[in-house]
Structure 1
Amino acid sequence: MEWKPDRTDKKPIYKQIADYIEREISSGAFSPGSLLPSERALAKELQVNRSTVVAAYEELQSLGIVERKKGSGTRVSTDIWGISHKRIPNWDRYVEDGSFLPNLPLVQRIRMETQKKDLINLASGELSPDLFPIDQFRTILSDQPFMGHLGYDHPQGNEILRETISSHIKEYKNIDTSSSSILITSGAQQALHLIVQCLLKPGDAVAIEDPSYCFSLPIFQSAGLRTFLLPVDEHGIDPDDLICLHKKHRIRMVFLNPDHQNPTGTSLPFTRRKKILELSSEFGIPIIEDDPYSLTSFNGEVNSTLKSMDHNGNILYISSLSKIVASGLRIGWIIGPPQVIQRLADAKQQVDFGHSIFPQWVANQFLESKHFNTHIRMLRKQLKQRRDQIISSLDEFLNGQIECFIPEGGIHMWCKVNGSINEYHLLEESMKKGVTFVPGNVFGSKKGYVRFTFGRGEANLIQEGISRFADALKSIQSNQRS
């Protein structure tokens, strides 16, 4: 047997062996009814433990591919291709072989844990339910009955909503655009997927912030892109770092979250924004501006977005209502050159035939109403109070043990735990004590950091959540000393 298991592969050895034997059976190398090598002989030939071969044969038996009888060995099923035997697809192989990669196991675990009702959630990147404009939505639905159609809509999204968004971003963000340059998406996440899948190809080099939300997304790996990191300091990325990266790797696209960045809460100063735009024009590199948080600025002053400063069409601008209205509404948008928007709209049509008309109608009614401005003022006030609550709680329970960047908007607090600490062990201990957060490694290369989402933690639970976190940290530190 020339084949040998790959010990550098993340797939377990027994699964590699089972997959190999299944391929050999499918190719006819092992015919129905033929005897497979004994467990001991195959283990010796492949230089693995006998128990590994046993596990491989048991896997094949569970799928109906082989039959095992004590004293008779392991044989290929005699009716493997017949009608009397119903084979079960090897779903494990299908799951592992798909080109669309899953989320990190840790991210999946956190999402599952946050569904528990007795756990204080300082992890999920969304608003708490008491910050949703539920009463305003009820008023809209009762006062203005839906009169629209329920068929497929325009490929770029409902035209009335796109016109409303055009007026909205002009008023609130000083961005000039027409409805023909807007695509409605299912939140900012779908916008990122469409851009990656339609405008880039395998092997392309892209730059992302470090740390950043994009670091945790498998879409870049699924697309075969090469990602390079731009370090984030207290003022965001340094444009000079982009120059260095481009000279070395010929960067094709840059992904930035300039305002109240996730996870650090930092905002790019005007001078850096201007320099980034200059570099984009000099090198011909498109910038993807992800802007979910700029309207949450606690002092009410909204920074100039890159898109509002862009006079050459170099910026693809993404925003949504997920972080400022309601995540479940699933209304986001991309603004860009018409030919790009048409390409992305065509791809979205292939995926879902366009966005659902009803949430678009609700979003339009809300954006056009007096309720929106009232809601934003309330949101800023509430988020600032929750930010202040988490700061005072950190001071009360963790004075001197943790250092945090104080954001002036957004929903996240980025903190460095002093001393050597394994944040994954800290997360496990925290969940045992009833609170969850996101370890910093999920967002980038820096170690010993944690992200708390004060926008998700209801005001009365933030203090208790930080208290539980402090207890978990104390337990971990005690275990390390013992």
Structure 2
Amino acid sequence: MEWRPDRTAKKAVYKQIADYIEQGISTGLFSPESVLPSERLLAKEIGVNRSTVVAAYDELQSLGIVERKKGSGTRISTDIWGVSHKRIPNWGRYMEDGSFLPNLPLVQRIRTENQNRHLINLSSGELSPSLLPSEQFKTMMADIPFLGHLGYDHQQGNMSLRETIAEHVKTYKNIHTSKSSILITSGAQQALHLIIQCLLKSGDTIAIEDPSYCYSLPVFQSAGLNTLLLPMDQYGINPDDVIAFHKKHRIRMLFLNPDYQNPTGAKMSMARRKKILEISTELGIPIIEDDPYSLTSFNGKVSNTLKEMDENENVLYISSLSKIVASGLRIGWIIGPKSVIERLADAKQQVDFGHSIFPQWAANEFLKSSSFDEHVYKIRQGLKERRDEIVKSFDRYLKEEIDYFIPEGGIHIWCRPKKSVNENQLLEESMKRGVSFVPGSVFGSQKGYIRFTFGREETSVINEGIARFAEALHYCQQNDKSPAT
């Protein structure tokens, strides 16, 4: 047999063997009347362990493709093409062959565990129910006598909502735009997907912050993009790194979260914002500015966004209502050059025929109402109280044991135990004690860090969550049996 498994491939060797045999049966390479090679012989011929062939045959048997009898060997199922036999699609192979990659297993695990009502959730990037404007929405929607046309709306989003957003960003962020330069999306995540799918191609090189929420998104890898990591400090990325990377790799696009960055809570300095825009103009590198948190500034002062300072339309600006109103509303937007917005809108129309009209009506009414200002004030106060509580809890249970950066807005706090610990073991022990967090490796190259999110739980619960985490940390430091990450 000339075929050999590819040991450099991500797919397990036994799965490669099973796929090869299944394809060989379909093409006639393996005759339905023939007996397949014995486990020992096949293992010798293709240079693998016998146990690997056993696993491959087990998989084929579970799919009804082969029959195995002790003493008689393994043969193709006698009824594989018969009327009575019902073959099961090899869903495992379909899932592996799909171009859109799944979330990291660690991320999937955390999300699954967070469905446990008894878990103190210090990992999810959403707001506490007490910070959501539920009562305002009930009153507001009850007072709307007729919501309007129920058919498909404009492919860029409801015109009234886009006009309201244009006024909103002008009032709160000094961004001057028009409804024709705005696209309504299903949150910021869909905005990122559309930009990647429409404006980049496989093999392009992009640069993101390190650490960064973007690092945890498989969409970049699914699109075949090369991702460069720009080191972060408390003032954002160093613009000189962008220049150095571009000379070596020709950066096609730069993804930044300048205000209260996820996961670090850092805020980019004004000097660096100006320098980044200068570099963008000089080198022609478009900037994707993700701004979910700037309105949460605890002192009420909103910094100049890159988009506000953008004089040459180099910036595509993404924002949403997920972190300041409600994540379940699924209202986000992109602001950019009209031609780019039209291209992205065309792609969105192909995907979902435009955004649902109901959340657009609700968002439009709320943004225009006097309740919005009151709500933003409530959000700032509520998040600041939670931030202060988590800092107090650190001092109470982990004093001198962790380093952390205190953010002035947003919902995340970034910390690192001074004594190294295995992050997987720490997460397991924390969840056993009923508290979740996100290990820092999910967000980039830095190991040994932890992201706590203080926006999801009530202030009264945060103290207990950190107490449980401290207990888990102390246990792991005393019983660490594997290499620290």
What is the TM-score with the length of structure 1 in the denominator? 0.98
Using the alignment, how far apart are the partners of 1:107 and 1:113 within structure 2? Answer: 10
Q: Are 1:246 and 2:246 matched, yes or no?
A: yes
1:426: which partner in 2?
Answer: 426
Counterpart-to-counterpart distance in 2, 1:393 and 1:452: 12
Distance 2:277 2:49 in 1: 59
Q: Cα offset for 1:481? A: 8.6
Aligned to 1:407: 407
Q: What is the distance in 2 between the residues matched to 1:230 and 1:271?
A: 17
2: CA distance, partners of 1:449 / 1:193: 27
- Whole-angstrom distance in 2 between the partners of 1:302 and 1:146: 36
User: C-alpha deviations, 1:134-157, integer Å up to 9, x for none?
Assistant: 010011011223421221110000
Q: Which position in structure 2 is the counterpart of 1:461?
A: 461
Matched-pair contact (CA < 8 Å) for 1:182–1:341: yes
Structure 2 residue matching 1:299: 3-state secondary structure: coil
Q: Which residue of 1 aligns with 2:279?
A: 279
What is the letter of the counterpart of residue 397 of structure 2?
A: F
- Matched with 1:10 is 10
Q: Which runs of 4+ in 1 moved over 3 A?
A: none
| Larger CA deviation: 138-147 vs 375-384 | 138-147
In structure 2, the residue corresponding to 1:277 is in which secondary structure? helix
Q: Do 1:194 and 1:344's aligned partners in 2 also have CA atoms closer than 8 Å?
A: yes
What does the per-residue CA deviation read over 1:382-415, in whole Å, with 9 as the maximum and x for residues that have no partner?
1000000000000000001101101000000000
| 2:304 maps to 1:304 | yes
The equivalent residue for 1:417 is: 417
In the alignment, structure 1 segments of 5+ residues that lack a partner are none
Residue number in structure 1 paired with 2:233? 233
C-alpha contact (below 8 Å) 2:419/2:477 kept by paired residues: no
The answer for the alignment partner of 2:98 in structure 1 is 98
Superposition deviation, residue 54 in structure 1: 1.9
Instruction: Give the conservation status (yes or no) of the 8 Å contact 1:121–1:436.
Output: yes
- One-letter amino acid matched to 2:14: Y
Correspondence for 1:131: 131
**Structure 1 residue 81: Cα displacement:** 2.7
What letter is aligned with 1:65? Answer: I
Tell me how far 1:183 sits from its aligned partner: 0.2
What CA deviation, in whole Å up to 9, does each residue of 1:290-348 have, x standing for no partner? 00000000000000000011111000000000011100000000000011001100110
Of 75-84 and 371-380, the range deviating more from structure 2: 75-84
- More divergent stretch after superposition (6-15 vs 395-404): 6-15
Tell me what 1:53 maps to: 53
Q: Which residue of 2 aligns with 1:68?
A: 68
Deviates more, 1:285-294 or 1:1-10: 1-10
3-state SS of paired residue (2:480):
helix
Structure 2 residues without counterparts, runs of 5 or longer? none
Structure 1 CA distance for aligned equivalents of residues 300 and 400 of structure 2: 31
Q: How many residues align?
A: 482
Match of 1:347 in 2: 347
The whole-number CA distance in structure 2 between the counterparts of 1:94 and 1:480 is 39
Q: Give the drift of 1:69.
A: 2.2
Using the alignment, how far apart are the partners of 2:326 and 2:24 within structure 1? 52
Structure 1 position 457, deviation (Å): 2.0
1:357-376 alignment runs, 5 A limit: 357-376=357-376
CA contact (8 A) 1:99 1:222 kept: yes
List per-residue Cα deviations over 1:159-214 (Å, max 9, x = no partner): 00000000000000000000000000000000000000100011111000000101
Change (3 A) 1:244 1:326: same
SS in 2 for 1:469: helix
Q: Does 1:269 find its partner at 2:266?
A: no
Check if 1:145 corresponds to 2:131: no
In structure 2, what is the equivalent of residue 188 of structure 1? 188
- Aligned partner of residue 260 in structure 1, secondary structure: coil
Q: Which amino acid aligns with 2:425?
A: H
* TM superposition shift of 1:61: 1.4
1:133 positional shift? 0.5
Within 2, Cα distance between the matches of 1:39 and 1:424?
A: 36
Aligned amino acid, residue 200 of structure 2: L
Identify the residue that residue 315 of structure 1 maps to in structure 2: 315
User: 1:424: how far off?
Assistant: 1.7
Match for residue 396 of structure 1? 396
> SS state of the match for residue 254, structure 2?
strand
Taking the aligned partners of 2:178 and 2:140, their CA distance within structure 1 comes to 26
1:292 alignment counterpart:
292
Tell me how far 1:80 sits from its aligned partner. 2.1
Provide the secondary structure at the position in 2 that maps to 1:300: coil
Q: Which residue of structure 1 lines up, in the alignment, with residue 222 of structure 2? A: 222
Structure 1 CA distance, aligned partners of 2:111 and 2:302? 31
- SS, match of residue 231 in structure 2: strand
Give the equivalent residue in structure 2 for 1:158.
158
The answer as to whether partners of 2:35 and 2:73 remain within 8 angstroms in 1 is yes
CA contact (8 A) 2:147 2:361 kept: no
CA distance in 2, matches of 1:298, 1:141: 29
Per-residue deviation at 1:128? Answer: 1.3
Q: 2:102 and 2:310 mapped to 1: Cα distance?
A: 35
In the TM superposition, residue 65 of structure 1 has moved relative to its aligned partner by 1.1
1:73 is displaced (CA, Å) by: 1.6
Separation in structure 2 between the aligned mates of residue 287 and residue 71 of structure 1, nearest angstrom: 66
2:30 aligned partner = 30
Percent identity among equivalent residues?
Answer: 73
CA deviation profile, 1:45-82 (whole Å, cap 9, x unmatched): 23333232222112111112112223222111233233
8 Å contact kept, 2:422–2:480 = no
Whole-angstrom CA distance in 2 between matches of 1:125 and 1:181: 28
Preserved CA contact (<8 Å) 1:33 1:77: no
3-state SS of the aligned residue for 2:227? Answer: strand
Distance in 2, Cα, partners of 1:58 & 1:11: 17
- Confirm or deny that 1:479 pairs with 2:479: yes
- The alignment's C-alpha RMSD in Å is 1.2
Distance in 1, matches of 2:220 and 2:162, equals: 28
Q: Corresponding residue for 2:80?
A: 80
Of stretches 32-41 and 155-164 in structure 1, the one that deviates more from structure 2 is 32-41
- Aligned to 2:195, the other structure's residue is in SS state helix
Secondary structure (helix, strand or coil) at the match of 1:307 reads helix
> Which amino acid counterpart does residue 185 of structure 1 have in structure 2?
T
